[in-house]
Amino acid sequence: MSNAVDAGSSDSGTVLIEAGEPIETAAAWIGHACWAELRFHEVLTTWLAVEPDVELSQTLWLIRAHRAELAEAWHRRLPELREFPRPGFVVPSGDVVSTLFDEAEGLVDETAAAHRAALAAAILEGFSAGYRNHLGIAVGPADGPTAESLARAIEVTDADLVRLDPAPSASVPSLP
């Protein structure tokens, strides 16, 4: 059974528009993205309080600002429906993701600057992979704003990876 919807007439010029995810499923993914970006923002805030490397600190500040921008963009994309209140969607996608950020936040030893940078790169790669994976899912007529936010998220995340430059230190799941 196809997810396509007949948007045209019955002649040979029929246009089929691929249906997107059901609103609850789409909103859950957006809420997970919002939560993960907010949580990474928190982690970066904790790291900046102890980061002795001035150059890395400046890079982390910029990445932190980008994470706030993306979290706010995802929050704007959540539906405003009485039966689906926004806060109910802003939750982690699973225990693995929650644990990843909890462990990252604990990396506060002043001598761990290189490890923090490498872990930040791994997390950014996880975001990049997750956002790219979702491009093929956000395809419905109502998914235009989400697709725009995905394009911006990929652009910003990839630029942050280039700025950070270290090789990732760990394998991180696709985020959010």
Predicted local confidence at residue 56, as pLDDT: 93
State which amino acid sits at residue 36. Answer: A
Predicted local confidence at residue 7, as pLDDT: 46
**Separation CA 136–CA 156 (nearest Å):** 19
Predicted local confidence at residue 77, as pLDDT: 83
CB 76 within 8 A of CB 30: no
- β-strand partners of 81: 84
Provide the CA 165 distance to its chain's centre, in angstroms.
19
pLDDT digits (tens, 9 = 90+) for 59-110: 999 999 999 999 999 988 887 556 666 677 888 888 999 999 999 999 999 8
Residue spans of the domains in the chain: they are: 21-164
Global pTM reads: 0.83
Q: Which of 129, 120, 143, 150 is nearest to 40 (CA)?
A: 120
Predicted local confidence at residue 19, as pLDDT: 63
Parts of the chain with a pLDDT under 50: 1-10
Q: Write down how long the chain is.
A: 176
**Separation CA 63–CA 43 (nearest Å):** 11
Predicted local confidence at residue 32, as pLDDT: 93
Radius of gyration of the chain (CA): 18
Predicted local confidence at residue 20, as pLDDT: 64
Predicted local confidence at residue 144, as pLDDT: 81
Q: Which CATH class is domain 21-164?
A: mainly alpha
Beta carbons within 10 angstroms of residue 138's beta carbon: 22
